[in-house]
Amino acid sequence: MLMRLLRLSAVLLVAAVSFWTVDRAWGEGFYLRQTKDQLKLKYEVAVEEHGSGRVTVVFTLADEGRLKPLEAVQLVIPAQEQNQDGSRWMDLVVSIDMAETDGGKHVGRIHLLKGLAERAEIQLNTHTMDGKLDPFTRLHHVIPIAKYMKHAPAAATRLPADGKDGQ
């Protein structure tokens, strides 16, 4: 009986230590400060405003540069307010489906409300820099969508069904 109790205590102690140290086992994430050119990235961002309060963002990735291979391309919308400790929650984090084109480029499309797009960002995520894998460190290159919205063309106004513009 005493042996069973000792074994159970040992198992519980190991479990408690494992749970206590689990937060230390997660890798750290770093936001890269290097520019698109410094990272040798080749991408384009196009934003089309539809006039309905919605926009379509088209992200075209031609070269992953020094971050090759990318693990994920994500749309991230940070929360508007910070927590009391200064950290920030995310209102939305979703993967962008990057379809490959005939030319070898990868294209992803996102359709969302203009207000969300103004605070949204595209994140290129990897554990590799210059071909060196570090499984404990996640790297993020951030592309703010608002930067590209200033040049967004408004959607063309539609003509009535009779083809006349009303004049």
pLDDT 10s digits, 140-160: 999 999 999 975 555 544 444
pLDDT for 73:
97
Residue scoring higher pLDDT (7 or 104): 104
Question: Which range marks the domain in which residue 122 is found?
Answer: 28-149
Q: Which of 128, 66, 71 is nearest to 95 (CA)?
A: 71
Pick left, alpha or beta for residue 99 (phi over 0 → left; psi -120 to 50 → alpha; otherwise beta).
Answer: beta
Q: Which of 100, 80, 98 is nearest to 88 (CA)?
A: 80
pLDDT digit string (tens) for 28-71? 689 999 999 999 999 999 999 999 999 999 999 999 999 999 99
* 61, 42 contact by CB (below 8 A): yes
Backbone angles phi, psi at 5, to 5 degrees: -65, -40
Domain total of the chain: 1
Domain assignment present for 126: yes
Q: What is the mean pLDDT of the chain?
A: 83
Model pTM above 0.85:
no
Residue scoring higher pLDDT (78 or 82): 78
Domain assignment present for 164: no
pLDDT for 112:
95
Q: Which helix (H) or strand (E) holds 5?
A: helix 2-25
Domain assignment present for 128: yes
Domain assignment present for 16: no
Backbone angles phi, psi at 58, to 5 degrees: -115, 115
CATH (domain of 137): 2.60.40
pLDDT digit string (tens) for 89-127? 889 999 999 999 888 999 999 999 999 999 999 999 999
